[in-house]
Amino acid sequence: MLEDSIKKVGYAAEYLALTAAILALWFFLDVHGDLNPVIMPSPSKVADTLGSLIGKGALWGDLLISVGRVLKGYLIAASLGIVLGILIGLSKHLERFTNLLVQLIKPIPPIAWIPLVILWFGIGESGKIFLIFLGGFFTILINVIDGIRQADPKLIEVSASMETPLLKHIFLMVIPSAAPSIFTGLRTGLSSCWMCVVAAELVSSSTGLGYLIMNARQFGRTDVVLIGMLTIGIIGKIMDSLLKVAEKSVIRWN
Amino acid sequence: MKITEIQSAKASEARQNDSYISVKNLSKYFERKGESLHVLDNISFQVKKGETVCIVGASGCGKSTLLRAIAGLDANHDGIVTVDGADVTNPAKERGMVFQEHRLFPWLTVEQNIGYALNGVSKEERRRLVHEHVKLVGLRGFEKVYPRQLSGGMAQRAGIARALVNNPSVLLLDEPFGALDTFTKISMQKELKNIQKQSHTTMILVTHDIDEAVFLADRIFVLSARPGKIKRIVPVTLPEPRDRNSYEFLEIRKTIYDEFFAEGQDLEVPKGKRKKPRISVG
Ligand SMILES: Nc1ncnc2c1ncn2[C@@H]1O[C@H](COP(=O)(O)OP(=O)(O)O)[C@@H](O)[C@H]1O
Ligand SMILES: [Mg+2]
């Protein structure tokens, strides 16, 4: 028992060490060197600014707006990606029919879409959501297709030998077998959605964390830039952890 | 109906029961990289209703291929397979199949795996059938367990329960106990025998274990090396329960053993590379 808890403390220390070291270096440089506040503000300055941003509710507002955008784009990407991925994964014809287009569009970074998106949608909300959707969709789609393709032919044969009705075969055999891959897609898709929301807000927005960062840079407020960046990191990590929890509770059999 | 008609109907039913499973001139080739591999060569036999047939043969001689043809998993062959008078071209739930690897769905519990085989039955009926078959294969208490948590023997039992839950008229088993240790294997063989007594299922079991065949079979089909042909059919008329150490048991075992290892049999293998065929003798 004791050994176990010592081990756990050890793991926790390992987990935190690198981040703690970098923070320590920052404090050290602040005390012993002279940090240029425009290039790297001091920890205390960042903490003060964070306090006042939270106090005014400014950070919270931008955060909610960005999270809302991500969720909208992500939910569309996830539902379309999963449904289309399953259909394409199940049908060789559909796969041949869509493959070339998917392969051509997939390597284009969503950021390269920004000019076109502005032309098509203007600089309103729908353009941003579309960009976020693009960011998540292909990653999710391709992972779902792969997961379904990789189903064990021996198990498929078992299902077939029992005269299993198609829908039952899809929901009890094909989808569970692809579940790990689907979750991989959902998690990588979510992080690309975050990249896209920030990119979209950097380019054309007056709200959101991306805007917060861009706006702060123009006024030389590096402390606010840092806070915006860290907030994105933290919220991204939290959302990923939630997905991991969901994955664990869905994939109970491993 | 006239008496003669009734008689002829009865006679035809008896004929039907004598050839419940019928394989006629079955030949199979696999095309691989433009080469054609001759796996089964003009195999014909009949299996009676309720009979247990064991097919023994060295590794690679086409045992699985033959069983898959009877299951309808591979209909791409020459010749005709019929079960109960009907051509076999597709798998059907009237023919339960047990594979060497348990092939349980990892994401379903034991009871869900067994229940998966059932289609179009009511909830209560499903519960009843699953419960009954869990009991039959001695897995009570493990209903909610995932396959990963089962031992090899337990997983194989679950696979057998799944194959039986539709009350199939034919049970096809492909080296079902091949991966189990001797003790588990012997107890599973006994259980299979008991299950067969209760359900009167017609069984074809493929094995490379001669003891297993003599213990279980009413008749043993000895397959030759590839291309597989039926080299010999050995009837086993030992009284039940069969004593693996009785003189008669050992005699039959020797008969089959000699089919494989008689003088000059395994000389096809070049010298220096000579390997024993995968036949375990006890
Ligand atoms: N799908 C397949 N494609 C090509 N060759 C196959 C295929 N399945 C089996 N074979 C070949 O056919 C031969 C017989 O295989 P199999 O019936 O599995 O033998 P056994 O079950 O007696 O060990 C082997 O040489 C094997 O390599
Ligand atoms: Mg085999």
- Best of A162, A172, A177 to disrupt the B interface (most B CBs within 10 Å) is A162
pLDDT at site B55: 96
User: Residues A6, A48: one domain?
Assistant: no
Compare all CA atoms of chain A with the CA of B113 and give the residue at the minimum distance: A172
Report the range of poorest mean pLDDT among B10-14, B15-19, B148-152, B239-243.
Answer: B10-14
User: Residues A17, A117: one domain?
Assistant: no
Ligand 1, pocket-test mutation among B43, B65, B230, most atoms within 8 A of CB: B65
pLDDT at site A3: 86
Q: Give the pair of three-digit tokens for residue B179.
A: 């991966």
Is B105 in the A-facing interface, judged by CB distances under 8 Å? yes
CA distance A3 to chain B (A): 27
* Phi, psi dihedral angles at B88 (to 5 degrees): -100, 115
In the structure, what pLDDT confidence band is assigned to residue B2 with cuts at 50, 70 and 90? low
| pLDDT at residue B18 greater than cutoff 90 | no
In the structure, what pLDDT confidence band is assigned to residue B273 with cuts at 50, 70 and 90? very low
Whether B99 lines ligand 1, by a CB cut-off of 6 Å, is no
Contacts of B116 in chain A (CB under 8 A): 159, 162, 164, 172
| pLDDT at residue A183 greater than cutoff 90 | yes
Q: How many structural domains comprise chain A?
A: 2
User: Residues A22, A77: one domain?
Assistant: no
Give A87-96 pLDDT, tens digit per residue.
Answer: 999 999 999 9
Confirm if B23 and B39 have CB atoms less than 8 A apart: no
CATH number of residue A207's parent domain = 1.10.3720.10
| pLDDT at residue B268 greater than cutoff 50 | no
In angstroms, rounded to a whole number, what is the distance separating the alpha carbons of residues A223 and A206? Answer: 19
pLDDT at site B230: 94
pLDDT at site A204: 78
Give the ligand 1 atom nearest the CA of B74.
Answer: 1
Give B191-240 pLDDT, tens digit per residue.
Answer: 899 889 888 899 999 998 999 999 999 999 999 988 999 999 999 999 98
| pLDDT at residue B111 greater than cutoff 70 | yes
In the structure, what pLDDT confidence band is assigned to residue B281 with cuts at 50, 70 and 90? very low
Percentage of residues of chain A with pLDDT beyond 70: 100
Is B131 in the A-facing interface, judged by CB distances under 8 Å? no
**What average pLDDT does range B4-25 have in this prediction?**
77
Is A191 in the B-facing interface, judged by CB distances under 8 Å? no
Hey, which residues 146-175 in chain B have their CB within 8 Å of chain A? 146-148, 166
Q: Give the pair of three-digit tokens for residue B280.
A: 């375990």
Report the range of poorest mean pLDDT among A60-69, A177-186, A196-205, B39-48.
Answer: A196-205
Is B261 in the A-facing interface, judged by CB distances under 8 Å? no
pLDDT at site A227: 94
**What average pLDDT does range A162-172 have in this prediction?**
94
| Other residues' Cβ atoms within 10 Å of the Cβ of residue B261 | 13
**What average pLDDT does range B145-157 have in this prediction?**
93
User: Residues A4, A62: one domain?
Assistant: no
| pLDDT at residue B272 greater than cutoff 50 | no
Contacts of B164 in chain A (CB under 8 A): none
Number of residues in chain B = 282
Yes or no, beta carbons of B91 and A161 under 8 Å apart: yes
Contacts of B71 in chain A (CB under 8 A): 161
User: Residues A56, A147: one domain?
Assistant: yes
User: Residues A90, A123: one domain?
Assistant: yes
Confirm if B207 and B36 have CB atoms less than 8 A apart: no
User: Residues A226, A107: one domain?
Assistant: yes
Place of tokens 């025998």: B193
Give B23-66 pLDDT, tens digit per residue.
Answer: 999 999 999 888 999 999 999 999 999 999 999 999 899 999 99
Q: Give me chain B's average pLDDT, please.
A: 88
User: Residues A162, A202: one domain?
Assistant: yes
Confirm if B158 and B147 have CB atoms less than 8 A apart: yes
Give B51-109 pLDDT, tens digit per residue.
Answer: 999 999 998 999 999 999 999 999 999 999 999 999 999 999 899 999 989 999 999 99
Give the ligand 1 atom nearest the CA of B68.
Answer: 17
Percentage of residues of chain A with pLDDT beyond 90: 76
Contacts of A158 in chain B (CB under 8 A): 97, 99, 103, 105
Yes or no, beta carbons of B119 and A165 under 8 Å apart: yes
Query: Which of B247, B221, B216, B243 is CA-nearest to residue B232?
Result: B221
| Other residues' Cβ atoms within 10 Å of the Cβ of residue B93 | 18
Which ligand sits nearest to residue B55's alpha carbon?
Answer: 1
In the structure, what pLDDT confidence band is assigned to residue A111 with cuts at 50, 70 and 90? confident
Contacts of A177 in chain B (CB under 8 A): 105, 107
Question: Where in the sequence is the domain holding A144, given as residue range(s)?
Answer: 41-250
CA distance B106 to chain A (A): 6
User: Residues A167, A122: one domain?
Assistant: yes
In the structure, what pLDDT confidence band is assigned to residue B15 with cuts at 50, 70 and 90? low
Select the residue of B99, B117, B146 nearest A162 (Cβ to Cβ): B117
In the structure, what pLDDT confidence band is assigned to residue B267 with cuts at 50, 70 and 90? very low
| Other residues' Cβ atoms within 10 Å of the Cβ of residue B70 | 22
User: Residues A14, A122: one domain?
Assistant: no
In angstroms, rounded to a whole number, what is the distance separating the alpha carbons of residues B154 and B182? Answer: 14
User: Nearest residue CA, atom 5 of ligand 1?
Assistant: B30
Whether B60 lines ligand 1, by a CB cut-off of 6 Å, is yes
Select the residue of A154, A165, A254 nearest B103 (Cβ to Cβ): A154
CA of B257 to the centre of ligand 1 (A): 23
pLDDT at site A35: 79
Ligand 1, pocket-test mutation among B28, B35, B39, B61, most atoms within 8 A of CB: B39
| pLDDT at residue B160 greater than cutoff 60 | yes
pLDDT at site A100: 94
Q: Give me chain A's average pLDDT, please.
A: 92
Yes or no, beta carbons of A253 and B107 under 8 Å apart: yes
User: Residues A86, A6: one domain?
Assistant: no
Residue A34 CB-density burial (10 A; 0-12 exposed, 13-18 middle, 19+ buried): exposed
Contacts of A178 in chain B (CB under 8 A): none
Yes or no, beta carbons of A173 and B105 under 8 Å apart: yes
pLDDT at site B187: 87
**What average pLDDT does range B109-136 have in this prediction?**
94
pLDDT at site B261: 85
User: Residues A16, A136: one domain?
Assistant: no
Give A114-130 pLDDT, tens digit per residue.
Answer: 899 989 998 889 999 99
